[in-house]
Structure formats: C-alpha cells, structure tokens
C-alpha cells in the first residue's frame, strides 16, 4: 500500500518534497495555510526567482550548517536543482553563475511546480493551519517508547471527522484549525518568520517542533538592512553607490562585503549589507555597539587613494567647499560629510588647510554609521536560527522519530543572498521527500 505522507506547508521546500515523494509512489497531501502554493517563492529574486548558484560552497551557509552541507550538496547540488527544473520543463539561464528561469519570471517556477503536483495527483488542502502533530504509541518511526509518544490525546481513538480513516495508516495525526489528517509520515515545511505580513510566515513550525521535543535555536531576521543612529547624521535623500561595507564591534571586524550599498534617511541596506547582516544581527539585537563603515572608493588601494587626495589638492583655490566636493562624491553624501564636520558648503577652500581638506576626503574612505536596530522580520529575506540540526538526521528525519521530517528554512540553516536559500529548500525537500516515501 502506498505510504501516506502529509506535508505541512506548500512553499519551495514542501512542494519539492511532495513531487519527490509522489514520484516515488507515495500518497501525498500538502496542507497550506495560504490560498495558494508558493506565495513567497513567487516574490523571490525581485520577481525573477534566483533558483540556485553555480558557485555552491559550504561556506555560503551559516557556520552551524557547514560541516553537514558537503554531503547534502554532493547528493543534491546546483546541477541537481537545474536538472529538477529541467524535468518540469523550466529552462534556466545563468547570470554570472546566478541561476534564474529563462523567462525571468518567478511565476514560471511556481506554476511548473504546481502543474507537476497536480499531474502526480498530490492532494492540496488550502487555508488550513497546521497546529500540532499527534504521535501514537508505537508509531512506525517513534523510537521514544512512552516518552512523548502521544503528545496530545490518543490519535488512534479519535476517528470522528478525520481526513483519511483513522487506523488506515501509520501513527501520526496532523491537526489543523479545521481538521485532522492521519498519515504514516509528516514533513514539516512551514518556513520561517521572514515576511509575516506578505507571506503569512509566522514561524508556526518552531512551536510545533518544540512540542515534539526538538530544540529551537534562537531566531533573528537575516538578509536584512539596518536602522542607523540619526543623531550621527544620515543623508537627506537615498544614496546608491558601489562600495565596500565593513561591520565592526569596537575594533573587531565582523564582516566585509562589496556591492551596491543603499543609504537612506533611516539607515543602511542593499545586497552587501544584507550579506553581512547574518554575522551582525544577533549582536545588534543584544544592543552591542556595532557600526558600519562605508568605503566609497573600493576600487582604490590605500596608495591610490592617497594619490587621489593629493591630486584633489590642486583645487584648493577660489572654489567653495561645495564646489570642491561636487566632482568627488555623491551630492547627498557630500552634504552629509559637510554637515557631520559642521562645515558650510559656501566656505572658501583657501580658508581650509590641506590637512583639513585631507580629513574631509578621508570620510569617503571610512564613513561610519552607528547601527541601532535591524529592519525586522517583515523586511528580512530569511530567518537565522530554527530547528537545531543536532535533532535532524542525514535524510532530515527527527532523530527521535524517523516518521517526522523537517526541511527548508524551518531548520537552523540560512544562506547568503544569491540562490543559496532556495538551493537549501529544494535540496532538503528532495532528500526528505524521497526518504519519507521509502
């Protein structure tokens, strides 16, 4: 008889798990609390969906995940993601190793997954929120004996109103806000806390898994921008500039990234800031004195920058400070530098000493912004923390109950920006979907 699998959550990882399990002959049901599958997936990559990355390395993931990532990537790396989407008829395109659907549309990816789910006869239950999992004594995968056997009532006794006759199959009952579903295995794919308003990602899985005895690592928003101290001064209008951005705790450099930095009247963001945020958010939440330092001349080494400054000294003539800076930096940053140094733009350069002029220009190499907070879960792309990998086996089953699997962002795994998080979702989904169906 086909194994009956319930998947809690129809996002990237849950849909992928459903396809692998159903292709392996399992009877699969997805329970999704939204009225569509893949809501977050359809918003990824600015609507283009960065599926994976050809530069796939363990160190693109959080430290806790790295040691195990090698074998997982060997089983289902970027090539396998591309092949998987090929099997769904999705042609992909590489942009410097960043893999997108050739259509340039995330909806192509979501529709292809949904079409395959329909073709395979997977049942999808919409608008039901999984609340808990009941484990019957002696469930196929339950190795805990009486401990934690049945978490909330005897699943076997309750047959009324169950979706799928109770006793038909194994020892798990997935309880939603409206129904009860019995099955042989459960795959938890409920995602994270990122984007709660837009995607309904409210971290339900952390609570459910904690009830099952799993440990949950503290969660923080990641791939996120930061609010900066306004008293130090921020530009009056948004600035976008290619720059190096470094984050420091005191004098200790925490992270350094290069890319297009955005500085707004509220704070600092952009891809390099989001990349670095994974190393910084915890300290920021602990109110540690973290600051960002922006180098607007990343393509100059120290010697070249020194020469550039000396070259600028040619203009210590009849110009005003505003005129002196206008060809040097972004106008909003020029205003910011002058206001931080309490210098008016009408000031004559002849009244500014060469050492003071150098000091002004040095700001463009090391402009500091004190971080006061991060922009929160709604603005974050992923959540760092979650179900501890120590509780999860190589095929993503809970070590104390191999009929319960956890996949995707629910786990304590987060990757860099650039297709790594979807890679993780598809990788964990494919491995768990296959294993659960055996």
Ligand X SMILES: Cc1cc2nc3c(=O)[nH]c(=O)nc-3n(C[C@H](O)[C@H](O)[C@H](O)COP(=O)(O)OP(=O)(O)OC[C@H]3O[C@@H](n4cnc5c(N)ncnc54)[C@H](O)[C@@H]3O)c2cc1C
Interface with ligand X, residue 381, by CB under 6 A: yes
One character per residue 325-364, x = contact with ligand X (rule: CB under 6 A): ----------------------------------------
Interface with ligand X, residue 433, by CB under 6 A: no
**CB-nearer residue toward ligand X: 403 or 408:** 408
Residue identified by tokens 């809501």 is: 39
392 contact partners, CB below 8 Å, separation of at least 6: 398, 399, 406, 411
Over 172-228, what HEC string results?
A: EEEEECCCEEEECEEEECCCCCCCHHHHCCCCHHHHHHHHCCCCEEEEEEECCCEEE
- Under 8 Å between Cβ of 170 and 140: yes
**The binder of ligand X chosen from 108, 194, 241, 264 (CB under 6 A):** 194
Q: Which stretch binds ligand X (CB under 6 A): 43-51, 332-340, 342-350, 360-368?
A: 43-51
- Rounded Cα distance between 70 and 52, Å, is 16
Cβ 9 to ligand X shortest distance, Å: 3
**CB-nearer residue toward ligand X: 15 or 139:** 15
Interface with ligand X, residue 32, by CB under 6 A: yes
The closest residue (CB) to ligand X is 11
Q: Which stretch binds ligand X (CB under 6 A): 60-68, 165-173, 338-346, 403-411?
A: 403-411
Cβ 80 to ligand X shortest distance, Å: 15
- Rounded Cα distance between 311 and 329, Å, is 15
**The binder of ligand X chosen from 3, 4, 6, 10 (CB under 6 A):** 10
Q: Which stretch binds ligand X (CB under 6 A): 78-86, 89-97, 116-124, 416-424?
A: 416-424
Residue identified by tokens 């400070």 is: 321
- Under 8 Å between Cβ of 11 and 41: yes
- Under 8 Å between Cβ of 88 and 115: yes
Cβ 377 to ligand X shortest distance, Å: 10
- Under 8 Å between Cβ of 392 and 216: no
Over 301-316, what HEC string results?
A: CHHHHHHHHHHHHHHC
Helix (H, G, I), strand (E, B) or coil at 101: strand
Q: What angle do CA 333, 339, 345 make, to 5 degrees?
A: 85
**CB-nearer residue toward ligand X: 179 or 373:** 179
Q: What angle do CA 142, 143, 145 make, to 5 degrees?
A: 90
Q: Which stretch binds ligand X (CB under 6 A): 25-33, 80-88, 156-164, 329-337?
A: 25-33
Task: Count other Cβ atoms within 10 Å, centred on residue 342.
Answer: 6
- Name which of residues 204 to 223 contact ligand X (CB under 6 A): 204
- Rounded Cα distance between 384 and 415, Å, is 9
Interface with ligand X, residue 278, by CB under 6 A: no
Cβ 4 to ligand X shortest distance, Å: 17
**The binder of ligand X chosen from 7, 31, 187, 294 (CB under 6 A):** 31
**CB-nearer residue toward ligand X: 134 or 295:** 134
**The binder of ligand X chosen from 6, 12, 69, 338 (CB under 6 A):** 12
302 contact partners, CB below 8 Å, separation of at least 6: none
Interface with ligand X, residue 295, by CB under 6 A: no
Closest CA to 405 of 373, 433, 368: 433
Do the bridges between strand 52-53 and strand 98-101 make them parallel or antiparallel, or are there none, so unpaired? antiparallel
**CB-nearer residue toward ligand X: 31 or 389:** 31
* Count of positions on this chain that bind ligand X (CB under 6 A): 40
Distances (CA, A) of 407 to 217, 281, 353, 423: 15, 23, 62, 12
Interface with ligand X, residue 103, by CB under 6 A: no
Interface with ligand X, residue 107, by CB under 6 A: no
One character per residue 153-192, x = contact with ligand X (rule: CB under 6 A): ------------------------------------xxx-
Interface with ligand X, residue 133, by CB under 6 A: no
Which residues contribute to the site for ligand X (CB under 6 A)? 8-14, 31-34, 39-41, 43-45, 49-50, 129-130, 189-191, 194-195, 199-201, 204, 381-382, 408-410, 419-422, 425
């Amino acid at each position: 008889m086909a194994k009956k699998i319930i998947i809690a959550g129809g996002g990237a990882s849950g849909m992928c798990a459903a396809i692998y399990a159903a292709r392996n002959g399992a009877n699969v049901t997805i329970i999704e609390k939204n009225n569509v599958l893949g809501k977050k997936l359809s918003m990824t990559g600015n609507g283009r969906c960065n599926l994976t990355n050809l530069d796939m390395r363990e160190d693109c993931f959080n430290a806790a995940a790295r040691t195990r990532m090698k074998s997982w990537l060997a089983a289902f790396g970027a090539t396998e993601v591309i092949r998987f989407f090929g099997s769904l008829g999705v042609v992909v395109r590489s942009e410097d190793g960043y893999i997108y659907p050739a259509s340039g549309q995330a909806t192509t990816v979501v529709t292809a997954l949904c079409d395959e789910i329909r073709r395979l006869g997977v049942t999808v239950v919409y608008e039901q929120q999984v609340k808990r999992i009941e484990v019957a004594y002696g469930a196929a995968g339950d190795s805990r004996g009486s401990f934690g056997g049945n978490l909330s009532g005897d699943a076997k006794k309750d047959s009324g109103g169950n979706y799928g006759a109770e006793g038909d199959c194994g020892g798990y009952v997935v309880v939603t806000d409206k129904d009860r579903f019995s099955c042989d295995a459960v795959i938890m794919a409920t995602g994270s806390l990122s984007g709660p308003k837009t995607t309904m990602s409210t971290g339900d899985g952390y609570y459910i898994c904690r009830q099952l005895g799993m440990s949950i690592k503290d969660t923080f928003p990641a791939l996120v921008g930061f609010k900066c101290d306004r008293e130090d001064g921020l530009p009056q209008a948004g600035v976008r500039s290619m720059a190096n951005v470094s984050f420091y705790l005191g004098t200790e450099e925490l992270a350094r990234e290069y890319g297009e930095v955005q500085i707004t009247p509220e704070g600092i963001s952009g891809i390099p800031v989001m990349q670095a945020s994974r190393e910084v958010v915890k300290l920021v939440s602990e109110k540690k004195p973290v600051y960002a330092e922006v180098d607007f001349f990343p393509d100059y080494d120290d010697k070249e920058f020194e020469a550039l400054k000396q070259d600028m000294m040619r203009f210590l003539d009849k110009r005003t400070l505003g005129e002196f800076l206008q060809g040097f930096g972004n106008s909003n940053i020029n205003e910011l530098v002058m206001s931080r140094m309490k210098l008016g733009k009408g000031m004559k350069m002849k009244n500014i000493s060469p050492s003071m002029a150098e000091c002004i220009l040095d700001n463009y190499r090391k402009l500091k912004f004190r971080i006061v907070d991060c922009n929160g879960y709604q603005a974050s792309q992923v959540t760092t923390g979650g179900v501890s990998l120590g509780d999860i086996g190589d095929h993503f089953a809970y070590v104390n109950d191999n009929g319960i699997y956890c996949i995707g962002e629910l786990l304590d795994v987060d990757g860099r920006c650039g297709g790594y998080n979807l890679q993780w979702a598809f990788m964990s989904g494919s491995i768990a979907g296959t294993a659960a169906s055996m």
